[in-house]
Amino acid sequence: MAHHDGAEATIAVGKGRTLENGQVMPLTVKAGDRVLFGKYAGTEIKIDGDEHLIMREDDILAILQ
């Protein structure tokens, strides 16, 4: 597992979590927010040579201001 700095800016977010009843629970975090997360949170991917970290909102510890 890779070690991360623990605080990064979000570049994109999804529409939210789909609940069992089919409703979508919107996300609290928005694109551009700087977030704090655990050092082993998320999944690393590469897109066009750039490294990105994908994670669930549950893995975010705080939204920094």
Domain CATH number, residue 23: 2.30.33.40
Residue 29 lies in a domain: yes
The confidence score (pLDDT) of residue 1 equals 43
pLDDT, residue 39, reads 86
What is the tally of structural domains in the chain? 1
Which residues share a beta bridge with 34?
9, 64
Residue 2 located in a structural domain: no
8 A C-beta contact, residue 44 and residue 51: yes
Q: Measured over all CA atoms, what is the biggest interatomic distance in the chain, rounded to whole angstroms? A: 39
In this prediction the pTM is: 0.76
Looking at the domain assignment, is residue 21 inside a domain?
A: yes
Contacts of 45 (CB under 8 A, 6+ apart): 51, 52, 53, 54
Helices (H), 1-65: none
**Residue ranges for the chain with pLDDT beneath 70:** 1-4
Let me know if residue 33 belongs to a domain: yes
> What integer pLDDT is reported at residue 40 of this predicted model?
87
Residue 17 lies in a domain: yes
- Ramachandran sector of residue 45 (left: φ over 0; alpha: ψ -120 to 50; beta: rest): beta
